[in-house]
Amino acid sequence: MSFAELGLAEPIGRALKDARYSTPTPIQAAAIPLVGAGRHLIGIAQTGTGKTAAFALPILNRLAAAPKPAAPKHCRVLVLSPTRELSGQIADAFTIYGRHLPISVRLVIGGVPIRKQIRAVSAGADIVVATPGRLIDLTGAGALKLDAVDVLVLDEADRMLDMGFIRDIRRIIAKLPPERQTLMFSATMAPDIARLADEILVEPETIRVAPPATTAALIDQQVVHVARGDKPEKLATMLKDEPIERALVFTRTKHGADKVARKLAKAGTKAAAIHGNKSQGQRERALASFRSGRVPVLIATDIAARGIDVAGITHVINYELPNVPETYVHRIGRTGRAGAAGVAISLCSADEVPFLRAIERLIRSRIAAEGDMPVEETTAASTNAPGNGARPARGGSKRRRPPAWKSRSKYRGPNRDGGASAKGGGRQRSSRPATGEAARR
């Protein structure tokens, strides 16, 4: 099948030719006719499957078929996503695919001056792409009204719920007209996603592309057993010795990302960190340097990296293994794209072995390992393993210590612009929740 067979308007087809896109991906081929027919849709697909075009193309086709100016302070299409980076990429996609159409696209995200965004939406817009927190700021200030939205898209719905955006999403949906078309995209169909879908979609069609346990066949997956204290040196050596063109390194916390970036800089490796505590300008500069190759290594937390689509990533390195197995699949899917080979390397300390085993159960495969588990950590690992039930090796209390990945601080919810702290994140300096603009950085 080709895009020409999907009945898209000529200006859209011309834009696709300009971008050298000729063949739709499976989710695009399945979704475009359904969305074009006005159906509500649930799309279960991983990042990198082409889902942005799966909703952007038929939406643009709909706008092209019924052109009309958006009323002041109103929009016709609303797209919600969890992070600033993903929102920016979605807005860019609409602009690229709609370059030959008289379509206006506005980006509404935190980390940038709100007054500029208020001015941008005041005249009305065909499409608004937003993170939930900043959108609520604009609607609360009366700068944007949602009672004329024809199409609502929830992209990365699972991540938005993970980040604690469910209340914001419900507040936004309450402002929308009930007769709208709703499209929801998620990497998984967890129970909370299913409940939300039941609330806001009407007789939806469901499209599933690549089950969550699937990992790309072209990705060479490796595990390196290493003592936790030796990880910085091991990573620095690996980045110098391996033929690495562009590497994405994952840590669990924002503090950890900064720490790794500093240690790599001391070791002579150019690296940048990206996470929710960085300003929008800092994040954009780090991404631009990574895309251009000026900085070959980007260290990121899972939330900050969600939606980042950078071509030519040769290596994904798990500096710390995720405690949610599906997250591993999301991470390594950033390499091995478009028929290119990729490498995924996980540095695994003894306390992370239970996480490794859970990942291997999910992907239904053992990952080739290098090195032996450090002897001095073996006992601690068996003690901390979930459901182990073993007594501590030394005397004293039978109560087991929490795993090293457990945070001492409590999760305080999202910072509302897509720069949230993940559960189990780094130490908080204040017990009071952040408010105002500080909560959105």
pLDDT digits (tens, 9 = 90+) for 397-420: 333 334 333 333 333 344 545 544
Report yes or no on 400 lying in a domain: no
Residue where a domain stops, chosen among 367, 384, 401: 384
Instruction: Please name the helix (run of DSSP H) or strand (run of DSSP E) that holds residue 17, with its range, or none.
Output: helix 10-18
Strand order in the sheet with 315-318: 271-274, 297-300, 247-250, 315-318, 342-348, 219-225, 368-370
Domain of 183, CATH number, reads 3.40.50.300
Q: Give yes or no: residues 116 and 27 share one domain.
A: yes
Same-domain status, 202 and 239: no
Does some domain include residue 202?
yes
Q: Which residue has the higher pLDDT, 423 or 355?
A: 355
For residue 297, give the 3-state DSSP assignment: strand
Residue 397 domain-assigned? no
Confidence at residue 302, expressed as pLDDT on a 0 to 100 scale: 81
Q: Which residue has the higher pLDDT, 62 or 373?
A: 62
Residue 107 lies in a domain: yes
How high is the pLDDT of residue 393? Answer: 35
Tell me how many domains the chain contains: 2
- State both tokens at 92: 């860019």
| Mean pLDDT of the 189-213 span | 83
List CB contacts of 74: < 8 A, sequence separation 6 or more: 124, 144, 145, 146, 147, 148
CA distance 206 to 26: 13
User: What is the phi/psi pair of residue 339, to 5°?
Assistant: 80, 0
Any idea which of 153-167, 297-311, 327-341, 382-396 has the lowest mean pLDDT?
Answer: 382-396
Residue 287 identity (one-letter amino acid) = L
Give residue for tokens 């709208």.
180
Widest CA span of the chain, in angstroms?
76
Q: Which domain holds residue 42?
A: 3-209
Most confident by average pLDDT, 40-54, 83-97, 128-142, 302-316: 128-142
Residue 426 within any structural domain of the chain: no
pLDDT of residue 191: 84
Residues 106 and 141 in one domain: yes
Task: Report yes or no on 47 lying in a domain.
Answer: yes
33-56 average pLDDT score:
90
Query: pLDDT category, 327, cuts 50, 70, 90?
Result: confident
Residue 441 has pLDDT above 70, yes or no: no
pTM of the model: 0.62
More confident call, 431 vs 80: 80
Locate tokens 């070959």: which residue? 296
Same domain for 235 and 92, yes or no, is no
Give yes or no for a contact between 150 and 8, defined as CB atoms under 8 angstroms apart: no
Question: Last residue of some domain: 351, 366, 384?
Answer: 384
Q: Is residue 84 part of a domain?
A: yes
Q: What percent of the chain has pLDDT over 90?
A: 51
Q: Evaluate whether residue 429 is within a structural domain.
A: no
Give the C-alpha separation, 119 to 280, whole Å.
19
Average pLDDT over residues 183-193: 86
Predicted confidence at residue 188, as pLDDT, reads: 77
Average pLDDT of 239-246? 85
232 pLDDT above the threshold of 50: yes
What pLDDT, on a 0 to 100 scale, did the predictor assign at position 436?
A: 36
Of the three residues 184, 209, 234, the one that is the final residue of a domain is 209
Claim to verify: residue 138 and residue 261 sit in the same structural domain: no
In terms of domains, do 179 and 300 share one? no
Q: Kind and range of the H or E element at 271?
A: strand 271-274
Band of residue 373 on the pLDDT scale cut at 50, 70, 90: low
Q: How confident is the model at residue 306 (pLDDT cuts 50, 70, 90)?
A: low
pLDDT of residue 114: 92
Same domain, 7 and 68: yes
In terms of average pLDDT, the best of 134-148, 213-227, 233-247, 370-384 is 134-148
Tell me how far CA of residue 161 lies from CA of 137, 170, 262, 327, 420, in angstroms.
19, 11, 32, 15, 12
Are 245 and 182 part of one and the same domain? no
**Residue 258 pLDDT greater than 80, yes or no:** yes
**What letter would DSSP give residue 228?**
G
**Are 112 and 41 within one domain?**
yes
pLDDT, residue 278, reads 81
Indicate if 270 and 204 belong to the same structural domain. Answer: no
Mean pLDDT of 12-18: 93
pLDDT tens digits for range 143-172? 999 999 999 999 989 888 888 899 999 999
